[in-house]
Amino acid sequence: MLFNIPPEEHVMPVTTDIIPLFARREQLLEQLYGGTQSKAALAESLDVSRSTVDRSVRTLATAGVVEREQGGYGFTLTGRLLYEEFRSFSEQAESLAAAQQLLSSLPADTELPREAIVGSTVTYPESTAPYRPMERHVEMIRRADEIDLLATAVAPRFIDAYRERVMEGTLTLRAGLSPSVAERVATNHGETAREMIATGGLTLRELDQRPPFSFTLSRVGDTEYLSLLIYGTEGLNGYLVNERPEAVAFATELFERYWTETTAWSAEDSRVSS
């Protein structure tokens, strides 16, 4: 014989209920993902009885995802690959669930891929801290060296933070304003806009189309961040920050697409002149 094929009855196929199985045994699997462990070590690290570990390991071995090795139990190749996919799925699902309240403020057909959400941090207003999302964005403005902004709404506090950084020469800002925001800025903050444009630190344009949401692409040293600012009828519904390359790439492409279809403002523009 060229190959020593084990009898068919010894081959343990992976169960089709792998996701609920992994969900029930996730803590044990996470321990095994760090390397082979004995049943005694698993019982101690998980703070469970030896009999509980015995049952779990037996179930996972029957499913073909773990096997006995020297020194204890570890993943089979199939088990390791499946668990890596399970971890990735769980991380994505948790990120999307955390952002659910924020996403519910947007239409179902909004151009917002999961790559912009996965791995993000979301801040919501709370009864004891209603302005926390706004404070998080002000912190970003104060840290950033460069910011690209598309705005569907305007908050005076953000304008003040942008003005402070631009006027002191520590921030370069490209701001694209939706038509309604451009009108409010011209009416209520025209002098501020004129001063900022005159420094060379602000490039201000009126967008031909309204973007689906407000966002910034901020550069802090060598790191770039996507920040989503989702507004509702009572102000900022939430604030999402994501520094993953996939999220930054999405924000960069979206900003440039809208930025190319704009009308530039100058310091002499009648809309921002005193």
For 100-224, where are the alpha helices, taking DSSP H only? Answer: 100-103, 132-143, 156-167, 179-188, 190-199
Q: What is the pLDDT of residues 75-101, one digit of tens each?
A: 999 999 999 999 999 999 999 999 999
**Structural domain includes residue 88:** yes
Q: Are residues 127 and 234 in the same domain?
A: yes
Domain boundary among 59, 92, 125: 92
Last residue of a domain, one of 60, 92, 124: 92
When pLDDT is cut at 50, 70 and 90, the band that residue 269 belongs to is low
Q: What is the pLDDT of residue 265?
A: 79
Residues 139 and 84 in one domain: no
Total domains present in the chain? 2
Q: Are residues 78 and 148 in the same domain?
A: no
Q: Which domain holds residue 148?
A: 114-264
Q: How far is CA 24 from the centre of its chain?
A: 27
Q: Are residues 127 and 251 in the same domain?
A: yes
Mean pLDDT for the stretch of residues 188-193: 93
Which residue do the tokens 């179930």 mark?
Answer: 59
- Residue 98 forms part of a structural domain: no
Residues 160 and 257 in one domain: yes
Count of other CB atoms within 10 angstroms of residue 61:
16
Name the pTM for this structure.
Answer: 0.80
Of the pLDDT bands very low, low, confident and very high (cuts 50, 70, 90), residue 272 is low
Domain with 88 in it: what CATH number?
A: 1.10.10.10
Q: Any idea what the CATH number is for the domain that residue 204 is in?
A: 3.30.870.10
Residue 121 counted as domain residue: yes
146 and 209 housed in the same domain: yes
| 120 and 154 housed in the same domain | yes
Q: Would residue 1 count as lying in a domain?
A: no
Burial 66-81 (b: 16+ CB within 10 A, else e): bbeeeebbbbbeebbe
User: Same structural domain for residues 176 and 258?
Assistant: yes
198 and 259: one domain? yes
pLDDT in tens, 8-46: 434 455 555 888 999 999 999 999 999 999 999 999 999
Q: Any bridge partners for residue 177, and if so which?
A: 151, 206
Other CB atoms within a 10 A radius of the CB of residue 269 amount to: 17
Average pLDDT over residues 46-66: 94
Name the domain boundary from 57, 92, 127. Answer: 92
Which has the minimum average pLDDT: 34-43, 63-72, 154-163, 231-240?
Answer: 231-240
Candidates 104, 274, 255, 91; CA nearest to 191 is: 274
In a domain? residue 124: yes
Q: Are residues 118 and 224 in the same domain?
A: yes
Q: Are residues 86 and 120 in the same domain?
A: no
Q: Report the alpha-carbon distance of residue 67 to residue 32 in Å, rounded.
A: 11
Answer yes or no: do 83 and 165 share one domain. Answer: no
Confirm whether 108 is domain-assigned. no
